[in-house]
Amino acid sequence: MSTQLRMRLPALDRLDGDSAVEWAQLHKDRVLATGSDRLSTLGQRFPQAMVHASLDPQDLILLELQLPPLSGRRLQAALQGEVEAMLLDDLQEVALGHGTQAADGTVAVAWLGLHAIARVQQQLQDGGLQLQALHPTPLLLPWSTGQATLQVCGEHVLVRCGRDRGFVQWCSGRDLASVMQMLAVRLQQTGVQAVQWIDAVPPAWAERLPSSVLAQAAQSSGPLPGWSLPLPATGAGAPRLAIGLALAAAVLAALGLQLQVSRWQGEGEALRQDMARQFSTHFPEIHDVVDPVLQARRALAVPAAPRELPAVQQQVASVLQAIPELAGQVRSLHYQPGQLEMELDADAQALAEDAQRLERWQQATQAQGLQLAREAGGRLRISSGAAP
């Protein structure tokens, strides 16, 4: 259909039928109507509408990873390996989406827990709506070649700098002028020549790049990106898929392509067996060969003997998951079994001096089984139950 309903979801822990959501109705890329209504009201106004939704920034994990030139399954395997190293959960429990690899080797990647996505689907379905795609927040902003679009959203700045590229800049508690200066430099390095701000240009914005203003109503009117978070299959989709496959098989048979398909299968099996033989020659310790390329890559990437993730990495990962604001703001680390000391940079020290913020940090680390205390000299001490 040429008519779309787009909406920006609230934080997922507050999402229900009474949640107010900002929405826009588009027809052939032209905005027909916008507003903010309860989810249940939208279901009555647009019954069974297919929805392109974007996440609240605090639920979003959107990164750009630098990788060597890869494509297809190799790119997917490399991304899974990179993301798995950052996850504390099982990779099988998250939905991982990514864009195409840019000329500079960067790949935009985002992920969200499968349970969270299923909850979004269920809430929309209960309200009489159907989730068609779930996008990282910046990727529904307007965009055109050579320009970037920015929007202040609470403690974050949303940035879309390409059809498939964007990021979220956290700026609460930091010098806003320096954050804006850093944003301008980063955008210039990616070839951006001008920016457009949703609603208003912040006073602290650096004048390095020409800027213009778009109305608030345009915030979800951008061209759809080429990727989104993968959605679990719904019960209604399974019969349709089965029917589609059956019809496709009948058409292939009618066109006499079965012989060609059989020949391709034979060539593919011969190639697979040859790769498996070569793999077994180089890696005799691995007996079950399923995917030779992926298994070889993993065999080369891991140490000779399997080992658990070092305790220091586990503790650092737990801290960063509990307090994402500390990412990139730690000057030095000192670790002894069960206890980690972080020396913060000037911006992070200023955040730690806020008693309420420090209390939130302590609560977040306690949820990870850790104890956080502020020390003199801009340091944080994080202890586990195993600390002496």
- Domain for residue 306, yes or no? no
pLDDT of the residue at 249: 58
Average the pLDDT over each of 18-32, 138-152, 306-320 and give the range with the smallest value. 306-320
Looking at the domain assignment, is residue 131 inside a domain? yes
Q: What is the CATH number of the domain that holds 56?
A: 3.30.420.380
CA-to-CA distance for 206 and 212, rounded, in angstroms? 13
Q: In this structure, are 296 and 318 located in the same domain?
A: no
What is the DSSP track for 135-181? E-GGGGS---TTEEEEEEETTEEEEE-SSS-EEEEE-TTS-HHHHHH
Mean pLDDT of the chain: 82
Claim to verify: residue 76 and residue 167 sit in the same structural domain: no
**3-state secondary structure labels for all residues of 308-333:** CCCHHHHHHHHHHHHCHHHCCCEEEE
Alpha carbon dihedral 148, 154, 156, 157, in 10-degree steps, equals 10
In a domain, 233, yes or no: no
> Lowest-pLDDT range, 50-59, 83-92, 198-207, 336-345?
83-92
The sign one gets for the Cα dihedral 254, 260, 264, 266 is positive
Same domain, 126 and 102: yes
Cβ burial 251-276 (10 Å sphere, 16+ → b, else e): eeeeeeeeeeeeeeeeeeeeeeeeee
Residue ending a domain, among 135, 159, 187, is 135
Taking alpha carbons only, the member of 157, 229, 227 closest to residue 197 is: 157
Pair 105, 209 in one domain: no
Same domain, 88 and 152: no
pLDDT tens for residues 256-295? 676 676 676 777 777 777 777 776 676 665 655 556 566 6
Whether residue 26 is predicted with pLDDT greater than 50 in this model: the reply is yes
CA–CA gap between residue 144 and residue 160 (Å, rounded)? 10
Query: 3-state DSSP helix/strand/coil percent for the chain, to nearest 5?
Result: 40, 25, 35
pLDDT higher than 90, residue 196: yes
Is residue 112 over pLDDT 50? yes
Residues 217-242: tens digit of each pLDDT: 899 999 999 999 999 865 444 445 54
Asked if 254 and 218 sit in the same domain, the reply is no
For residue 378, the domain's CATH number is 3.30.1240.20
Q: Is there a domain that residue 291 lies in? A: yes
Closest CA relative to residue 361, chosen from 372, 353, 369? 372
Which of 253, 276, 301 is the endpoint of a domain?
301
- Return the pLDDT at 237: 44
The answer to whether position 97 is within a domain reads yes
Sorting pLDDT into bands at 50, 70 and 90, what band is 94?
confident
pLDDT of 37 over the 90 cut:
yes
Contact 30, 9 (CB under 8 A): no
State whether 12 and 122 are in the same domain. Answer: yes
Say what the pLDDT of residue 340 is: 86
Q: 280 and 372: one domain?
A: no
Does residue 326 sit in the same domain as residue 295? no
The CATH number linked to 170 is 3.30.420.370
Amino acid at 96: L
Task: Give the CA-trace dihedral at 90, 101, 120, 7, to 10 degrees.
Answer: 160
Pair 122, 163 in one domain = no
- How many domains, in total, are found in the chain? 4
Would the pTM count as exceeding 0.85? Answer: no
Lowest pLDDT segment from 53-57, 88-92, 102-106, 150-154: 88-92
Domain interval for residue 279: 238-301
